[in-house]
Copies of this chain bind each other. A is one copy, B any other.
Amino acid sequence: MTTSQARAGRGRTIPEHCSTQTVQRVCVAETDMMGVVHHANYVAYFERGRLEYLRRRGLPYKAMVARGFHMPVVELNVRYKKPAYFDDVLSVETRLGALSRVTVRFNYTVGRPQQGGAGEPEVLLEGHILLACVDEKNKPRPLPEDVVRVLFLPEVSQSDDLVIPGSRAGRAGNA
């Protein structure tokens, strides 16, 4: 194990499975007069990605908040490479990047699958978010051990579980 890997995961290498993929379809409200997705809108994609990262490992963020742990964003970085357009289906990869006693870093890659599905998706942008664990008064608070454990898990479920119970459709999709 290299020093860099050790730092990345509090003495642990971050496993390849520490990644969650969500999918977004671009709607009109997200575009701007240049005909592309306005750069500010990707920040919401990132939020959805990390909420889903937690949920698919059995720990909804809501449960953390209920226990008095909040995770505000303390750093945001995005490098935009190519534009996205209305109706594009985008993949958002949220990958655990690093952990310290009070912070978690997620790395993001937003891609657009190739027509036909062959080959790697085109990378539209990359970024990362650094979150700090704080209490209700915004004071830094060490990440609880069970949360750290969950962050290292593979996904329990690969779906976002957007099923309305009793719905005729079985699964009612998200536009």
- Of A6-14, A68-76, A143-151, the one contacting chain B is A68-76
Q: Are B91 and A80 in contact (CB under 8 A)?
A: no
Chain A residues within CB distance 8 Å of chain B: 21-25, 27-29, 31-36, 38-40, 43-44, 47-49, 51-52, 55, 60-62, 65, 70, 72-81, 83, 86-87, 89, 91, 113-114, 116-118, 121, 127, 138, 158-175
Within the complex, the shortest CB–CB distance from A156 to chain B, in Å, comes to: 13
Within the complex, the shortest CB–CB distance from A79 to chain B, in Å, comes to: 5
Q: Are A169 and B158 in contact (CB under 8 A)?
A: yes
When chains A and B are docked, how far (Å) is the Cα of A69 from the Cα of B143? 36
* 14 extra interface residue pairs, beta carbon distance < 8 Å, beyond A23-B162, A73-B80: A21-B169, A22-B174, A23-B172, A25-B160, A28-B34, A29-B40, A33-B86, A39-B73, A52-B173, A74-B81, A91-B167, A114-B165, A116-B165, A158-B171
So how many copies of this chain end up in the complex?
4
With A40-B47, A43-B40, A78-B75 already in contact, the answer to whether A173 and B23 are too (CB < 8 A) is: yes
Q: Are B34 and A32 in contact (CB under 8 A)?
A: no
